[in-house]
Amino acid sequence: MRAAVVPEAGADFEVVEREVPEPAPTEVRIDVDACGVCHSDAFVVEGGFPGVSYPRVPGHEVVGQVDAVGEDVTAWDEGDRVGAGWHGGHCFTCDPCRRGDFLQCENAEITGLTFDGGYAEYTTVPAEALAAVPGDLSAVDAAPLLCAGVTTYNALRNSDARPGDTVAVVGVGGLGHLGVQYAHAAGFETVAISRSPEKRELALDLGADHFVNATERDPAEALQELGGARVVLSTAPSADAIESVLGGIGIDGDVVIVGIPGEPVPTDVQHLVATCGSVSGWGSGHARDSQDTLEFSSLREITPVAETFDLDDVGEAYDQMMENEARFRAVLDL
């Protein structure tokens, strides 16, 4: 098989020939159809995560067909259409797992980081890390939903917002363009906030009821004119963008951060106290969360805007993603 390998931290990708891997007793082998290229893959490419062993095949937005099944696997069969996201499996025995909180597993695996991922024609994945992929979602459309999709969908559905509430999405990019669609489909009064005024028409087409150009007006004031936001989903990895919307939450409002800035975020504690508001974070989801995301996306015809690349062009796909030139997700089409 062909695989795109990072030989060592900071090195360029190498597309190499490898033996097709055999699944362990608790794993399945996936014949990969598509794999998304995500900003978190930089942890492997640039060596920003402790304990990564090299060479490593990145990729945690994997969609394909089950090609072989380990001898202890009963939940999946050859031919099943599956996906694997960031959460690459759990131990079942640590205290969080015993409480059913698999996302906080103390011994969690990470697809494409602690084991080889989907930048390859085949990969093996623990059976508990798999989500069933609906047949009406193409592999290219499904792949980004296993990271950007589950992150935004799961954050919104675990918030306190209810249909009719005002929900703002900060950033109309790789995460935000999906967040806008999920917020609209969930029945929220959806506000898209962006520093890119050229994204106004796209945001409205995706379901936003309002668009706030943050280069021209204070987004917090705009949200207060709408009565204050119940939830602000912050997808832009910018401390300034997060700080600018804290004053826009209403009573019991919450700023939910899924885009991680590289610097501390100043917080207007007085406004949080006055509104009984909060600032919280949300990180992705486990396999069942991913499957819920895929099923809801299929039901409401929510798909990402994505550019596709051949495996041989993995370096170009990664560079365009890192330089924010891909619109809006980059996907390897195998």
172 contacts 192 by C-beta, under 8 angstroms: yes
pLDDT tens digits, residue range 268-298? Answer: 999 999 999 999 999 999 999 999 999 999 9
List the structure tokens of 219: 């987004």
- From 311, 157, 80, select the one nearest 331 (Cα to Cα): 311
| Strands 329-333 and 130-132, bridge-based pairing | unpaired
pLDDT tens-digit readout, 73-97: 999 999 999 999 999 999 999 999 9
CA distance 334 to 325: 21
Binning pLDDT at 50, 70 and 90, where does residue 182 land? Answer: very high
- pLDDT surpasses 90 at 330: yes
Find the farthest-apart pair of alpha carbons in the chain and give their distance in angstroms, rounded: 61
Mean pLDDT confidence for 222-244: 97
46 pLDDT more than 90: yes
Give the model's confidence band at 50: pLDDT under 50 very low, under 70 low, under 90 confident, else very high: confident
Q: Is pLDDT above 90 for 201?
A: yes
Q: How far apart are CA 148 and CA 51, in angstroms?
A: 24
pLDDT tier at 171, thresholds 50, 70, 90: very high
Instruction: Give the mean model confidence (pLDDT) for residues 302-312.
Output: 98
- Whole-number Å distance between alpha carbons of 11 and 8: 6
Task: Give the span between the Cα atoms of 81 and 133, in whole angstroms.
Answer: 6
Report the pLDDT averaged over residues 45-56. Answer: 92
- What's CA 27's distance to the chain center, in Å? 23
Model confidence band, residue 159 (pLDDT cutoffs 50, 70, 90) = very high
Cα separation, 177 vs 200, whole angstroms? 11
* Residue among 167, 166, 217, 163 nearest 195 (CA): 217
Amino acid letter, 60: H
pLDDT exceeds cutoff 90 at 51: no
- The backbone region for 79, taken as left when phi is positive above 0, alpha when psi lies in -120 to 50, beta otherwise, is left
Q: Is 151 helix (H, G, I), strand (E, B) or coil?
A: helix
Token pair of 23 as six digits? 């699944």
Q: Is 41's pLDDT higher than 90? A: yes
DSSP track, 239-290: HHHHHHHGGGEEEEEEEEE-SPPSS-----HHHHHHHT-EEEE-----HHHH
Rounded average pLDDT over 164-169: 98
Asked if residue 72 has pLDDT above 90, the reply is: yes
- Give the mean model confidence (pLDDT) for residues 194-220: 98
pLDDT score at 113: 97
Mean pLDDT of 3-19: 98
Mean pLDDT within 238-250: 97
Instruction: Check whether the bond before 49 is cis (ω within 30° of 0).
Output: no
232 beta partners? 168, 255
DSSP class of residue 83?
A: E
Give residue-wise pLDDT tens across range 91-139.
999 999 999 999 999 999 999 999 999 999 999 999 999 999 999 999 9
**Cα 29 from Cα 295, distance rounded (Å):** 23
Output the average pLDDT for the chain.
97
Distance CA 290, CA 269 (A): 34
Q: Quote the pLDDT of residue 48.
A: 85
Rounded average pLDDT over 32-57: 95
